[in-house]
Structure 1
Amino acid sequence: MFWFGIGYLLEPIIMAVALGLFIAMAPYITRTPRGEKELKFFMFLTIVGYALILFAAYAFLTSYLGYVPSLWTFALILTGIGALQYFIAPFLINIMYRAEPAPPEIQEMVNRLAQRSGLKPPKAMIARVPIPNAFAYGNFLTGRYVALTEGITRTMDEEELEAVIGHELGHHKHNDIWLILALSLAPMFVYYLGRIMMEWGFWGSASERDRENSSLAFLVAGIALVAISFILNFIILQFNRLREYYADLHGAKVKGKKPMQRALARLHVTFENIKSNPVYQKELEQFNESPAKMLFIYAFTQTFASPYYDMDEIIERLKREETNPIMEVFMSHPPIPKRLRFLDNISE
């Protein structure tokens, strides 16, 4: 009954309210950081907001239920599921993207840039995918990986490719892989608990009239928790966007601001017409639906870019483009024009 209960009727309404809140705040929360210090300040504020809302959920829940050992059991089960995902994810990614060890020259690039980053060199992998992209993944059991798709190795020159590798090394240096996963566990717990409480409240009030007040309290509490879970997920998207700026910053530090900007601009140009190219539609859909999409250097919202484009001219054009803050609220990555403008404000 839980899966087909009142939650399916109420959830779209709750989602709409949460969306309305973030749409109203979009111009403020999607501001482009002006340099490294402001970026770190924005990340700090985002984590503080996440923690305060999570604490509010905890306080709200305990005021209704008090200390309930079974809730901790539920939390431990979900944490265990998250930990299992963390451990098996590298194997699944290797299978999903047909990733194989990269040629020695790519591994040498990774080794050289990792040394500049103060990191133990990750394993360089080539994903047998024609669409240009790159991502970082791994854990302490499997080791760390930096994967480049076949498409990106054919699209970029050496300097741009090294900037992309620098970006991915930034994700490893900043521990983004486990950090984003850890932050994602709480919204999952709050959401499923809220759904269960909504069902308890609705069906209890319908079948046990003498407990109507108690059932209504469960229903209201469940609605509130589901709303909080949506808000937490939007905050995680915001945090992930800030971490992308942070990884861009690292790529610029280890390779240079201009190569990092050229790499981002080339990725943007590459995807401008891809939706109209039927050859790549299946691959694009798989990437869009991938659970690992937060790991990519580029979030697909847009024929391969010619190496003979005047990338500096394209960079200047892209930096002048306006972006839609409302659309950005739903994105895991900042728009390329904003990433280029952010890089303008940093010192290498």
Structure 2
Amino acid sequence: MARILFVGGGSIGHIAPSVAVAHALKRIAPDTRVLFVCGPREEEKQFLSAEGWEPHILHAPRFSCSFPLRFPRVYLQAHRLLKELKPDGIFSKGGYISVPLCLAAHRRRIPIVLHESDVVNGYANRLVARWAHHVCLGFPMATRGDARRTFTGNPLRPAVTQGSTEEGLRLAKFTNRSRPVLLVMGGSQGSLALNRYVAEHAAELLSVFDILHVTGQGKTGIEPKPDGYWPTPFAQKEMPHLYATADIALSRAGMNTITELAANKIPTVLMPLRGVAHDHQEKNARAIETMGGCIVVEESDADAQLFSILTHLWDNLPRRRALIESSRHLWVPDAAVQIAHIIMESLA
């Protein structure tokens, strides 16, 4: 019986794809023992518990000035964890949590399969890619003849595309279906900039749209809550129903979220978060914009342009259909199964 250790953390964007692959792995190899390691964030532990997995916790340092001082202790902790869990293979979804564990696995000659969702590698994945047996790519890009790299797409849990419009409307208590529904989401941690925009432009937005708003834990949107507005700090089981209900979306530009929106055929306006992790959100958004799969608005232009962009998009059915058609290539329905097979092949 193979034992596969899944590692990744820092956001739900690192966790949710791993869950999709873990379930696919159990389907194709039911005797496989699946184990998870994540960071100490409560939302990561809760997400995994809700999906049926109880994670081990690794307190890895983020990349900062203190990283060289803190890394040796966490590296030894990773070695102890590997000795305890005895995995036959590692699946790494990236994030700072993956570096000490994957380095320890590499030193122990445990095969590593890495998945990179974004258009550009982050610091952690650049390091882990050096040690990986195979690198799976979430974005369709040239593999430059490298046999270790395969475009698989970004793995999604099947439930993500199985939502119910009726259930979404019931959750939000939207009884008037004469208005389009705008889904606003800033990723698993929310976005202060998107929340601020929604709050400051509430009157004009609500003159056209009903709004579903995933604000992020500890963050707020429109207060007091008006009719036609449904906020939630986080959505897991509810998220497929929100997707099924949405007519258009306004989102940050993490690749997992973008893939979920594409899979649900939701025309999307992206406002990328700038200046973090090699500016990966900007690069994601611009690459998809070049494909014709989204509209991009910069945070600095939101107040002047965003409401007009959203209303023009809703008024232009051919434009919405074109965005859906161009973005559909981002979703590979069997991505999780492809990756699961690659993991099992790495053990041979």
TM above 0.5, yes or no, is no
With the length of structure 2 as denominator, give the TM-score of the two structures: 0.24
- Tell me which protein shows more strand as a share of its residues: 2
